Amino acid sequence: MIDQTVKRCLAAFAMSALAVAAMPAHAGKTLEAIKSRGQVVCGVNAGLAGFAQADSSGNWSGLDVDVCRAIAASTLGDANKVKWVPLTAQQRFTALQSGEIDILSRNTTWTLTRDASLGLSFPAVTYYDGQGFMAPVKGKIKSAKQLKNATVCVQSGTTTEKNLTDFSRANNLNIKPVVFDKFEATNAAYFAGRCQAYTTDVSGLASIRNKEAKKPADHLILPELISKEPLGPAVRRGDDEWFAIVRWVVFGLIEAEEAGITKANVESLQRDSKDPVISRLLGTNEDIGKLLGLDKDWLTRAVKAVGNYGEIFERNVGPKSALALPRGSNNLWSKGGLVYAPPVR
């Protein structure tokens, strides 16, 4: 039998463990640096409509941009406290590894190689995509299987290039890649007729067609998807606190959509709602922000700044936007999509 002294020691140890588990998180070195400089430094695409692009006045917009704005609102109290660093595909990982940026939010695919060998971590998926092809309507190509011996424009330093090679070999198509280092050069070559088709993520093809084509209707996005491309932000390994903040801001925006919390009603719901889930998310019945090293209003500020996940999608890439992409796989799990967040509780 266990004597009373041992029982008391075990009970004290259990209580101590519970107390430690309930303690607020400390800030972490990345958040401390962000607070010290007063900005989140966010690496983005130099110009991909719907995801990240700047207008003539230098104002940035897009789905990836809104992710960084939400994080700035949660951590600094102001969605505008972001320094934007435009990066090419070749520059993006080095910029994050070297500490030039705090977060990479640049239509980047989460893969095993990137997750395991670059010293990076992917906190969440913000857009479920797949690689496809675009071809001029006049070429009468209606399927990727018709690309035998075709020239295809593709950007180097991306998963796209490898996927193209794999697809060509698997289907004995002998596709001839025409490779360019820069996004702009790839676009220019395709629209100049140097390639019979263009391949990248379907969201990217829609963006390029909308922004670059003289007549978007003259270019057809072929029906096949040849890969899985879960896109999301990346952070450096070694700062678990910052990783958790980025992860749960994204999850919080998804949970907000599930709960019906929007940019328009978030303040009234925080003030008046008796729903325990909404109250928890908005910090009125318990303070879960402290577990992330933030305050109780962290998610309220994020939603107030950019809206919930559904609003971000609709505004930037959805059916009513210039890209007119269907919600599809990026719908909530409860509506037949893949978007699912662990509970914020």
Give the CATH number for residue 314: 3.40.190.10
Could you give the number of structural domains in the chain? Answer: 2
Let me know whether 247 and 189 are in one domain.
no
What type of residue is 93?
F
Let me know whether 213 and 237 are in one domain.
no
- Cβ pair 298, 24 in contact under 8 A: no
Let me know whether 242 and 288 are in one domain.
yes
Q: What is the per-residue pLDDT for 159? A: 85
Q: What is the per-residue pLDDT for 25? A: 58
Range of the structural domain that residue 109 is part of: 29-128+231-330
Let me know whether 37 and 124 are in one domain.
yes
What type of residue is 144?
A
Residues 6 or more apart whose CB falls under 8 angstroms from that of 307 comprise 66, 262, 263, 315
Let me know whether 191 and 213 are in one domain.
yes
Stated pTM of the model: 0.88
Q: What is the per-residue pLDDT for 153? A: 97
Q: What is the per-residue pLDDT for 285? A: 92
Let me know whether 158 and 38 are in one domain.
no
Q: What is the per-residue pLDDT for 16? A: 44
| Regions of the chain with pLDDT less than 70 | 1-27
How far is C-alpha 82 from the geometric centre of its chain's CA atoms? 16
Let me know whether 119 and 245 are in one domain.
yes
Final residue belonging to a domain, choices 200, 227, 254: 227
Final residue belonging to a domain, choices 175, 203, 227: 227
What does the alpha-carbon distance between residue 329 and residue 273 come to, in Å, rounded to a whole number? 31
Q: What is the per-residue pLDDT for 9? A: 44
Run of H or E residues at 219: strand 219-221
Let me know whether 182 and 163 are in one domain.
yes
Let me know whether 123 and 245 are in one domain.
yes
